[in-house]
């Protein structure tokens, strides 16, 4: 509403007032340009008096190093590219916050790219970026085609393809499906014996991860062959899955791969006359804010997206600067839990 929006400074001011160069600073300080350069790079071997003179000149002229010139000479751009999926319908910005935090902490600036299309398209884009020499590294927050790992015979840029998929659902070491194990174990303690997992779209690595953990856990607990119905994150898919269940000996606990899917499960259960959590316990994933206001309130998994982003960029930085690998360790060590389960009203003891 206020008119503070859309402000442009007069372009002429911009043009004629050029920033001072290292030479001008040198002249003002009565030293050589190289001495100024030393000052900028914090070279230890300078007389305090000289340092002071340069410092003053820098301040008077409001000098700032031209990073373009610097990076031309040093052949280091100090930039990393982050590839974001273009079509993310879900995908918290906190992940990007975490990414930027770590990048800036290590002196990198972040260039954002988005890319439409298939994983193959993305792969091509990443190659291009890595090959362009514009950036030192590429962090792909969208999945690349399976097996593209070894296929980066490119130049300067190093690629870390993080384990995220199109919807920013984390998988792999960063955010694996392990909470599924906790969910199943706890529900088993509550007496549940027949479990069902309604998956996300299985071309998503995270969906596969959750399914795999589910299957492994159910079998480990000796709860018979795991029941899995493939779906696609949507409520409709989960809804249909519930309707397809047999009336007799139907599952009493459903692990959905998303909150939206869980909502579909609840809807389907209602239509079949099953009460929740009386006849059926349901869990979701994502901690959607409205989950606490569903009827019943929804048990879900909360994901610390910022931490996810931090870990991803820490990995890239560690690859770029092996000597700073300590950073990555530190990052890994700073673990509070990445995922926490929030138990609410949609889960309860198994029906007797």
Partner DNA sequence: GGCTAGGAGGTGATCGATCACTTCGCAAGG
Partner DNA sequence: CCTTGCGAAGTGATCGATCACCTCCTAGCC
Residues 188-247 that bind its own copies (CB under 8 A): 205, 208-209, 212, 235
The three-state secondary structure class of 22 is helix
Binding site partner of 35, from its own copies, DNA, none, Cβ cut-off 5-8 A by kind: DNA
**Residue 78: other Cβ atoms inside 10 A:** 15
| CA angle (264, 176, 318) in 5-degree steps | 140
Q: How far is the CB of 238 from its own copies (least distance, A)?
A: 11
Q: How far is the CB of 189 from its own copies (least distance, A)?
A: 27
Q: How far is the CB of 58 from DNA (least distance, A)?
A: 10
Q: Is 160 in the site for its own copies (CB under 8 A)?
A: yes
Q: Is 19 in the site for its own copies (CB under 8 A)?
A: yes
The three-state secondary structure class of 257 is coil
Burial grade of 75 (CB within 10 A; 0-12, 13-18, 19 or more)? exposed
Residues 307-326 that bind its own copies (CB under 8 A): 315, 319
* Long-range contacts at 116-124 (CB < 8 A, ≥ 24 apart): 116/86, 116/87, 119/143, 119/144, 119/145, 120/145, 122/83, 122/85, 123/148, 123/151
Q: What is the CA radius of gyration of the chain?
A: 27
Residue number with CB closer to its own copies (2 or 333): 2
User: What is the binding site for DNA (CB under 7 A)?
Assistant: 18-19, 21-23, 30-38, 40-41, 45-47, 49-50, 63-66, 69-70, 72-75
CB 141 within 8 A of CB 109: no
* Candidate list 20, 22, 171, 218; residue touching its own copies; CB under 8 A: 171
Q: Is 40 in the site for its own copies (CB under 8 A)?
A: no
Binding site partner of 33, from its own copies, DNA, none, Cβ cut-off 5-8 A by kind: DNA
Q: Is 333 in the site for its own copies (CB under 8 A)?
A: no
Residue number with CB closer to its own copies (298 or 350): 298
Residue number with CB closer to DNA (19 or 272): 19
User: Of 251, 259, 311, 303, nearest to 277 (Cα)?
Assistant: 251
């Amino acid at each position: 509403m206020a008119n503070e929006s859309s402000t442009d400074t007069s372009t002429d001011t911009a043009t004629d007032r050029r920033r001072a160069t290292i030479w001008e600073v040198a002249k003002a300080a009565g030293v050589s340009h190289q001495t100024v350069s030393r000052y900028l790079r914090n070279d230890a071997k300078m007389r305090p008096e000289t340092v002071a003179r340069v410092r003053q000149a820098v301040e008077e002229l409001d000098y700032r190093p031209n990073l373009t010139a610097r990076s031309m000479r040093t052949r280091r751009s100090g930039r990393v590219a982050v590839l974001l999926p273009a079509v993310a319908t879900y995908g918290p910005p906190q992940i990007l916050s975490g990414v930027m935090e770590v990048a800036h902490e290590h002196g990198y600036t972040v260039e954002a790219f988005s890319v439409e299309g298939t994983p193959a398209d993305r792969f091509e884009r990443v190659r291009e970026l890595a090959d362009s020499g514009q950036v030192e590294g590429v962090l792909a927050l969208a999945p690349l085609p399976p097996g593209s790992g070894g296929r980066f015979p490119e130049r300067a840029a190093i690629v870390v393809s993080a384990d995220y998929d199109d919807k920013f659902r984390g998988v792999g070491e960063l955010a694996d499906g392990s909470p599924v194990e906790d969910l199943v174990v706890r529900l088993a303690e509550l007496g549940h014996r027949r479990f069902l997992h309604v998956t996300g779209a299985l071309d998503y690595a995270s969906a596969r991860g959750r399914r795999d953990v589910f299957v492994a856990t159910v079998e480990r607990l000796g709860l018979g062959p795991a029941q899995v119905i493939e779906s696609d994150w949507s409520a409709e898919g989960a809804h249909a899955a519930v309707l397809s269940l047999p009336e007799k000996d139907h599952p009493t606990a459903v692990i959905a791969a998303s909150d939206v899917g869980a909502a579909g499960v609840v809807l389907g259960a209602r239509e079949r006359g099953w009460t929740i959590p009386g006849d059926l316990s349901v869990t979701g994933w994502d901690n959607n804010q409205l989950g606490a206001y569903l009827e019943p309130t929804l048990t879900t998994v909360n994901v610390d997206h910022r931490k996810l982003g931090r870990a991803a960029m820490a990995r890239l930085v560690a690859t770029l600067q092996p000597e700073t690998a300590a950073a990555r360790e530190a990052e890994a060590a700073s673990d509070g839990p990445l995922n926490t389960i929030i138990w609410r009203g949609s889960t309860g003891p198994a029906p007797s």
